[in-house]
Structure 1
Amino acid sequence: MKRLHVLVVVLCSLLVQVAFAGTENPTLPEGFVYVDQVIPDIKIELRYYSDHNFVGRRIDGYLEPRCILTAQAAQALKKVQEELRRFGLALKIFDAYRPQRAVDHFVRWAEDLQDTRRKAEFYPDVDKQDLFKKQYIAAKSSHSRGSTVDVTITAMDAAPSAPGLDMGTGFDLFGPRSWPTSLAVSPESRAHRMLLQVLMVKHGFEPIAEEWWHFTLKNEPFPDTYFDFPVQRY
């Protein structure tokens, strides 16, 4: 009887494995890559995988600290890195592909007006109730299309968590001082912002008027698709 019981257990285990074959090991969607495999010396500090962000905790959909972009965006970013490398500088990524479920998390957080624990660092001059009206938070993000990146410049030999070049504000500061053309920051910071923007635009990215760190590949391959696969190793 004992031998029969063991045989039954083994058979059941095999049946379970067959039933779930192909579902436990999903693959990275076609057209997407891990950025560090394309640019091995790039610096990555995914803020939404950590609690160092405007919400104050890890964001839904960031299961592992993996930086993902479309292949086209990663190749364009590689050209920026190649230019910086000659001067002992490097790109540092704060965010890249962002699942729709993460954007939904931002929306839920913005609707909770009582949660202002990170206001002093990230939105000191903006009332939380105005985050939607001023479009700091929205129901859709270009990041979910896979070709948008939040990036700065740092020293090539710096640790990923080390501050990069002084850009005048930190990443994700909601307010006019984060505008690339703001005169409220020092001339040195404006020069650093200009360097970043010139290089990114040169290699096919488009900036936006409200955030010095935000760039979208001009000819993005999925301009109308908002993905929701989690950030993890596939």
Structure 2
Amino acid sequence: MTRLSTAVRGLVTAIAALLTATAASAPARAEPEPKAPEDFVALRSVDPTIIEEIRYFTPHNFVGERIDGYRQPLCILTRPAARALHAAQSRLLSQGYSLKVYDCYRPQRAVDHFVRWAEDLDDQAMKDEFYPDVDKSRLFADGYIAEKSGHSRGSTVDLTLVKLPARPTRPYRPGQPLTPCFAPEDERFPDNSVDMGTGYDCFDTLSHTLDPRVRGQQRAHRLLLKDTLEDLGFVNLAEEWWHYTFKPEPHPDTYFDFPVSRASLTGRR
């Protein structure tokens, strides 16, 4: 009886060891990607006439490569922000302009990508265009890069104006010569938007919406965008002429991390 019990215990031990080894060697199951809340929508579903040029899906940005979390070139926003943009677009179309969005909802993983890039002081591939007069070691201190972004809350958008009919924009080719983002319009990277005085994501004080050095048509364009959006509930970030947040925000304290893709908007709970 003792001999049989010993054999059974040995068999149980062997089976347990086999199961443990099998579990250890089995590939870990990937965690399902988070989904967008029900009140997030694709901007195109609210207003398909607004031009979308999602820069962080492309390598033409201050990092120089596609940013983490941008699976598709898609503008996603909370429904109230998207509806307010639709109202702004209706007003601007009657004046011969269209809105063009560069960035909308931004996942936290994208912000984390920015932080990693900013901490790598040796990577300055895009400096000549996006931050020619700023030492990269100052990007955090000067407020150009932060560990959290209002974009991740879903009601913030980066955008500009395009005079209609819209001209095509020449695609960016990685490795091509770069020109400072505050150079005269005919020297900067070509964009089919109106002249705002600097390019998008220009890390320079000339990007401040009401910088007194920006005059004439450039200032008029900034004020047209500002006045139109603020009349519909958006608030401008004074340091960036392109940055607006719809108020009140549906999610003022939540920083989401679902990817920028149509799949994030399907099968939501």
State the TM-score, normalizing by the size of structure 2.
0.76
Map of 1:78 onto structure 2: 86
CA distance in 1 between counterparts of 2:262 and 2:134 reads 36
1:51 to 31, 44, 59: 59
> Offset at 1:201?
0.3
Displacement of 1:105 in angstroms is 0.1
- Identify the residue that residue 102 of structure 2 maps to in structure 1: 94
In the TM superposition, residue 66 of structure 1 has moved relative to its aligned partner by 1.2
* Deviation string, structure 1 residues 172-201 (Cα, Å, up to 9, x no partner): 000110001112234110110011000010
Q: Does 1:118 align with 2:147?
A: no
**Alignment-mate amino acid for residue 199 of structure 1:** T
Moved more, 181-190 or 48-57: 181-190
Pairwise mapping of residues 1-234 of structure 1 onto structure 2 (< 5 A)? 28-159=36-167, 161=169, 162-234=191-263
- Secondary structure of the residue aligned to 1:66 is coil
Question: Partners in 2 of 1:88 and 1:42 — Cα distance?
Answer: 13
Distance in 1, Cα, partners of 2:66 & 2:157: 18
What code does the residue aligned with 2:213 have? A
Deviations 1:102-131 (A, max 9, x none): 000000000000001101110011000000
Q: CA deviation at 1:87?
A: 1.8
How many pairs align?
Answer: 212
Give SS of 1:171's match. Answer: coil
Counterpart CA distance in 1 for 2:211 and 2:199 is 14
Distance 1:214 1:150 in 2: 5
TM-fit CA distance, 1:54: 0.1
Q: In the TM superposition, what is the alpha-carbon distance from 1:227 to its structure 2 partner? A: 0.2
- The one-character-per-residue Cα deviations of 1:91-111 (angstroms, maximum 9, x if unpaired) are 000000000000000000000
Gaps of 5+ in 1: 1-19
Residues 102 and 158 of structure 2 are in contact (CA less than 8 Å); yes or no, is this contact kept in structure 1?
yes
Paired AA for residue 106 in structure 1: F
1:208–1:214: 8 Å Cα contact kept in structure 2?
Answer: yes
8 Å Cα contact 1:95/1:149 also seen in 2? yes
CA distance in structure 1 between the partners assigned to 2:168 and 2:50 by the alignment: 9
Q: For 1:91, what is the secondary structure of its paired residue?
A: strand
CA distance in 1, matches of 2:238, 2:35: 35
Contact 2:102 2:159 in 1 (8 A): yes
**Partners in 1 of 2:36 and 2:210 — Cα distance?**
37
Deviation at 1:160, TM superposition (A): 6.4
CA separation in 2, counterparts of 1:86 and 1:70?
Answer: 25
Deviation of 1:218 after TM superposition, in Å, equals 1.5
Contact 1:43/1:160, CA 8 A, preserved across alignment: no
* Residues 105 and 27 (structure 1), Cα distance of their counterparts in 2 relative to 1, 3 Å cut: closer
What is the deviation of 1:158?
Answer: 1.0
Q: How far apart are 1:159 and its partner, in Å?
A: 4.6
Percentage identity across paired residues of the two chains = 56
Amino acid of the residue matched to residue 140 of structure 2? Answer: F
Q: Look up the equivalent residue of 2:42 and give its one-letter code.
A: Y
Distance (whole Å) between structure 2 residues aligned to residue 163 and residue 177 of structure 1: 20
